[in-house]
Structures are given as structure tokens and as C-alpha cells.
Structure 1
Amino acid sequence: MHQPSELAGARIAIVMMSAIGDAVHALPVVNSLRATVPGVHITWFIQPGPHALVANHPAVDEFIVFDRKKGWGAFQEIRRATRGKRYDLVIALQVYLKAGLVTALLRSPRKLGFDKERARDANWLFTTEQIPARGQRHVQDQYFEFLEYLGVPPLLEWKLGPTDAERARYADALPPSDKPTVAMVVGTSKPGKEWPAERYAALVDRLEGEMGVRTVLVGGRSARELAAAAAIKATAKHPPLDLLEWDLRKLVYLLDTVDVLVSPDTGPLHIGVALGTPTVSLMGYTNPKRVGPYHRFGELMVDAYGDPGEDYPISAEYRPGRMERITPEEVARKVALALERYPRMRPTGQSSP
């Protein structure tokens, strides 16, 4: 077992370039290193999307942005940005080929990555050390394995909430209301993860018409999100407030402000959980034991991934067609439970897993 004192004053590089949810899971890793390792200097290699979420995070000394849209030129930019730099340790949290190539470009005597079984795209070839093989676990637990290997006590701490300046900047984003506000995420990176727009419309009418709740749509402005929002607003008798836009820090502010979040497996779900916003997660396409809400709001999850009574294993297997099993009535019951159990309350932002 390594000791944190061995890393004192170390220059550590974190390679976690995408996506939004994975960046959220990486935050407890950088916060744990910052809290435990004296004099540590942390550089995070990241793509523009998640960088917009964490750009000013207090635990990170330097961000180096990898813009994959530039193709091979992005790797040349990494080479130029790291010329003359040497890291004492590289922590390779991502297992895609592009991340492996970035890891290979960095000068360091120690490059720590996943074991061969979990290192897709032969990423173990780009590292000098691998954490022990332990099979599939929740993504957050897998990241904590790196800290365990290094002897660093893990802190379940994100420090992702809006700053005072952001609260002032975005104060007008959500009009005040005496009704509880439920935010809904309507799009993801994979169509299979998404809940049908007509189900959202039915949920909106149930929440607005029967429960006296205000509903808002949040997320980005991809083509699928815009189409889903248009369908929901056209179908619902009580059209929700449309707050879709690309500003991730405004999204953080909104998710920190609302009473409840309803979301499929996508970045905003994990942002909401990190902020302590009661989150109703809609899980069907991806395995909630691997990528569901971590250590919070499990009782609010709608699990359509498994069959009734099935004790399914933790895996990265996709199960298409399961999201359609989720009914508006089920989700409305979970929202009612969230409002009853968490009335404008937030869990603490720090604990030990």
C-alpha cells in the first residue's frame, strides 16, 4: 500500500477528457488529492464540453483542453502545451483510445491506469502501472480504486455548486414562484437512454394540473433536445417553461435552485446528485448499479433496466427498449416522494464512501 506522503509536492496529471457525467465523477478524486497530498499540483486534461463545467474548480491548478474536433491537430496542441513539462504521476481515468494517446504523450515515470480487463482500446499499453483487477463496479467506486491504490482517503466531495458571482449573474434565469419547481432533462448523448416526449408531456400535466407543481425543461440545445422540447410543449395542456441552453454553469445554478430534478442517465443527472438536489433518475438503457445516482436518492430511482425480481449483475451492457417501460404515473409518485422527503433540504456535500 502506498502512502500519501510519497506524493508530497507531486505534479499530478489527470486524464479524463469526457463526458460531463464522468467529469462529475472525477471531482471527488481531485478533491481527495487536494485535501490529502501536501503541495500537490494538479493538471487536468479535458475536452471543451466538460471544461465549461469545471473550468474554475478550486482543486485544479491547471486545465489543458483537448479539442477533438481538430483531429490529429488536437494531439499536436497537447504536445506543444506540455513541452518541457514533466509529471510525477499520470492518473489515466479514461479508457478510450484518444485518452490513451494523450497519456502516451505525457512525460512521467508513473502512469497509472485500469487493469487489462477494464482498459478498453488496449489502454493498458499506455500506462506503467495498473490498479488491481476487481471487475465492474459503479464508475465512482472504480475511480476511488485509484485513490485506494495511492493510499489517499477518498472524500465524496464535489464542490460543484454555483459561486456567489454566478448566483448574482443568473438570478433572473428562473422567475420566483410559490410552487415547487421540478426540472426535467429531455435529451442525452444516446437516443436509447431517452424517455419518450409524450411521456414527459403526460408527466407535466400530472404535476402541473394535479400536484400544483411548476415544471421547467433544462439541458442543452441539441437537435434531439429541441425536438423533444417542442413536442412536449405542443402536447402538454400545461406547457413547461423552456430553459434549454448551452451554458453549463447556468445549468448548475438552475439545478441547485429547483426542488426536484427528473432525468435519464446523462450528465445533468450526476450534476443534480452532486449538488444534493433530490433527483428522480429514469434508468432503463444503462445499468443503474454502474452509472446510477451514487449514494444518494436511490429510493427515487425508477429502475426499468432489470426485470421484476431480477438481481442483475453490474455490467456495461445496454438494454434497448427498456425506457418505454417507465410510466408517467411511476415518475409522478417518485416526484411526490421527493417533495415529501426532501422539502427544500440538501444532503451534506462531503462524506466518506
Structure 2
Amino acid sequence: MPSLSSSLNLGDLCILRLSALGDVCNLVPAVRALQKQQPGIKITWVIGRAEYNLLAGLEGVDFFIYDKKSGLAGMRALRKEIMDKRAGKPFDVLLHMQAALRASVLSRFIPAKRRIGFDAARAKDNQNWFVNEQINANPNVRVGQGFMDFVHYLGVAKTEPEWSIPVPEADQAVAKQLVAGLERYLVISPCSSFRKRNWRNWEDFVGWAEVIDYAQQAYGLTTVLVGGQTELEKNATAQIIKHSQSKILDLMGKTNLKALLAVIDGAELVIAPDSGPIHMAAARGKPALGLYATSNPARTGPWLDDYVVNRYPEAVAKYLKQPLETVAWGQRVRSPNAMGLITSQDVIEKLDLIAADLKLKKLSPKIPTRI
């Protein structure tokens, strides 16, 4: 279905995307593309609380925060907040950019004239019931491109992705103090957020240690571990440090999301599974060495995925018993063992590729053996 706009004069636009950290990172280029083509456009974004903490201060965007734990009462409160602030005026356009039932129910509490959702193939959980327009079909694209499809539908020209996520000076100062004394470092975020039956973590702690030791010995890179303070993360941190022979800076639970962006700014690269930090790295223009086996990096990988370790095809063959070309786009491999297909040698090979592109001098060719 073609756009109903004959020219780009979109008026007052609202985006609905609550989560997750990586996804909201991938949505920012669509916002920047809108702003670039229609300067002064009024953009409102309904977003989750943690995601807001990452994007707070985004130029030209007003945020409304919805707490997913607040249920229907929170949805009614959000509608009242929106209506009070806007004196009852509906948005000209609502971009419903989260194909999930909770988000779709929430969308009905947001007043809008045009309600635009994904095309039929991407409109999961019956999202099409909650919108009056759908974007054009564009099969088998990554998540970030899916968000760009919304603004292309509205008539925005194709453009290179831009982010410019602001980091306050106070958070920059915190990050600078935390990494003080490190000449060159890489960031590792070993754990993704917990989701039921969605195994994305590489739990080969000896393998992590081998990568860390190799980075130190071969390129003089100190590893900085980042993440939260869940029991899963505490255990991963303890195991990685136990098996490594290198100096490691443990920043687990010591940064907020803005300070983490600043820590990433000073890093040579970021290594992580399919999670927020890998997309935050791409947003900061840093090499993102993503580790993928249970999800397809062609769909969920960072914008520039030249360095991704991709064991998804092998995982599909081994655990789904199907050829890659026969599985649905975005199909997850629901096996806790799939990430074990990744080896430390896989990661080291990509690290060498990044180091060559960054023109890092190699100090030692030795690859550490298992401890």
C-alpha cells in the first residue's frame, strides 16, 4: 500500500516502541532520517523506562515513559498524561513499531489519526487489528532496516544511519574516571538480559578467558567487563576472571547506560552476544564483535556486521534439523547448547580482523591454550 502522503508534511508524529535496548538503538536512525528531511518535525516517543534512560535528551524528541509492570492502569494513566499535555489533540501519525500484544493494546490508548504498523509478514500478535495502515512488505531484512521501512513509507528518502545519542558531561566524567590508567582497552559484555527459552549467552568461560588473554598478549588490550549485578552476571564475571591470566577491569554494575556509552566511546571494540551493548557499539561507531548462534545476525545483528561470529546456520542444522533456507525469517534456535558451537578461535579470528582494520600493532602471534 503506498503512503497516503503526497508530500512530506507529517505534522505531529508519535512513535510507539517500548523495548529493548538494542531495538531502540536501532530505531534512532529512523528518527534522525525524519528530522533530516523535515526539520522541526514534532516527534513524541512512548518508551520503556530503561530504554528512556539510554536515550534521554535525544534532540527533538519528547518522551512518555510506560512502565510495563503497570498494566492497564498504567495505560489509562499514560493516556491521561498525553491528553492533558496535548489539550486533547490527537497525533497526526502513530508509528506502531512494536509487534507485540501488550504494545498493541497500549496503542489504543494513544490518540492518533493515522495508525501505521508493520506489513502482514511482520505484524505479529495480530498487530494489524490495531492499525489502519501497514508499511510496504520488505522481507528478510534486519531489525534496524525494518524501522527505516516506516519512514520510507512516509516518504523519507533513504540515507545512511545516524545516531548522535547524547551523553551528559557528568556521565562522561564518570566513565573517564573508571577507565583511568588504561591505555587501550576492549569492552566485553558477556551476558544478555534473561528471556525465557531464549539462550543467547556464550557460557564457555574458559573460551572468554582465552579471548581476553589473547587480546592482552597480542595487542596490549585490557578487557573491561560491563553489565549488571544479577546472579547470572556475577557468576559469569567470577568464572571469567578465574580462568584468565590477564588484568581485567570489572565494571559490572558500576555504570548507568549513559556512562556505558562513554566507556564504549573510549574502547577499541566491543564483544557481546545478541544484546544491547553490541548495538550500542554500532551506534557509537565502534567495531561490534557479536556472538550469534541462537538468532540470525542477518536479522538481529548490528548495523555493520562484518565482524559477527555466525554459528546460526550450524545451530539450525543441528537443533532444528532443517536447512537454513527452509526456516522462517527470524526463527530462534531454542536450545541451551547452541551457543556452545562458538569457539574461542572463532572470536579470535574476528578480533584479528578488527585489529587489522584498526591497524593495531601485533605484539605476539601466540594464541593461549585452554587452562
- Residue in structure 1 matching 2:175, options 155, 159, 170: 170
Higher mean C-alpha deviation, range 328-337 or range 97-106: 328-337
Q: What's the offset of the Cα at 1:340?
A: 2.0
With over 3 angstroms needed to count, the CA separation of the structure-2 counterparts of 1:314 and 1:267, relative to structure 1, is farther
Query: In the alignment, is residue 236 of structure 1 matched against residue 244 of structure 2?
Result: yes
What are the Cα deviations for residues 207-235 of structure 1, in whole angstroms up to 9, with x where unaligned? Answer: 23454321110122232112211111122
2:57/2:166 contact within 8 Å kept: no
Aligned to 1:258: 267
What are the Cα deviations for residues 136-159 of structure 1, in whole angstroms up to 9, with x where unaligned? Answer: 321112111111211112431111
Could you tell me which runs of 5 or more consecutive residues in structure 2 were left unpaired when the two chains were aligned: 318-322, 361-371
- Residue in structure 1 matching 2:224, options 182, 207, 216: 216
- Residue in structure 1 matching 2:202, options 195, 216, 221: 195
Aligned to 1:72: 72
Letter in 2 for 1:327: T
Q: What's the offset of the Cα at 1:58?
A: 0.6
With over 3 angstroms needed to count, the CA separation of the structure-2 counterparts of 1:337 and 1:161, relative to structure 1, is farther
Q: What's the offset of the Cα at 1:93?
A: 0.6
What are the Cα deviations for residues 314-344 of structure 1, in whole angstroms up to 9, with x where unaligned? Answer: 7111123331111112212221221221248
1:136/1:314 contact within 8 Å kept: no
What are the Cα deviations for residues 223-257 of structure 1, in whole angstroms up to 9, with x where unaligned? Answer: 21122111111222225211122500011011111
Letter in 2 for 1:315: W
Letter in 1 for 2:269: V
Letter in 1 for 2:330: A
User: For the residues of structure 1 that align with 2:289 and 2:120, how far apart are their CA atoms?
Assistant: 35
2:175/2:260 contact within 8 Å kept: no
TM-score by length of 1: 0.89
User: For the residues of structure 2 that align with 1:193 and 1:72, how far apart are their CA atoms?
Assistant: 31
User: For the residues of structure 2 that align with 1:140 and 1:200, how far apart are their CA atoms?
Assistant: 28
Matches within 5 A, 1:268-283: 268-283=277-292
1:290/1:316 contact within 8 Å kept: yes
Aligned to 1:206: 214
TM-score by length of 2: 0.85
Aligned to 2:47: 46
Aligned to 2:310: 303
Could you tell me which runs of 5 or more consecutive residues in structure 1 were left unpaired when the two chains were aligned: 345-353
Aligned to 2:355: 339
Helix, strand or coil: the match of 1:182? strand
Letter in 1 for 2:63: F
1:3/1:151 contact within 8 Å kept: no
User: For the residues of structure 1 that align with 2:25 and 2:328, how far apart are their CA atoms?
Assistant: 20
User: For the residues of structure 1 that align with 2:44 and 2:261, how far apart are their CA atoms?
Assistant: 23
User: For the residues of structure 2 that align with 1:33 and 1:119, how far apart are their CA atoms?
Assistant: 22
Letter in 1 for 2:129: L
Query: In the alignment, is residue 88 of structure 1 matched against residue 83 of structure 2?
Result: no
Aligned to 2:331: 317
Aligned to 2:164: 159
Helix, strand or coil: the match of 2:272? strand
User: For the residues of structure 2 that align with 1:151 and 1:303, how far apart are their CA atoms?
Assistant: 34
CA RMSD of aligned residues (A): 2.3
User: For the residues of structure 2 that align with 1:91 and 1:14, how far apart are their CA atoms?
Assistant: 5
Helix, strand or coil: the match of 2:108? helix
1:113/1:130 contact within 8 Å kept: yes
User: For the residues of structure 1 that align with 2:145 and 2:235, how far apart are their CA atoms?
Assistant: 35
Q: How many residues align?
A: 340
Letter in 2 for 1:56: G
With over 3 angstroms needed to count, the CA separation of the structure-2 counterparts of 1:9 and 1:324, relative to structure 1, is closer
- Residue in structure 1 matching 2:294, options 285, 290, 314: 285
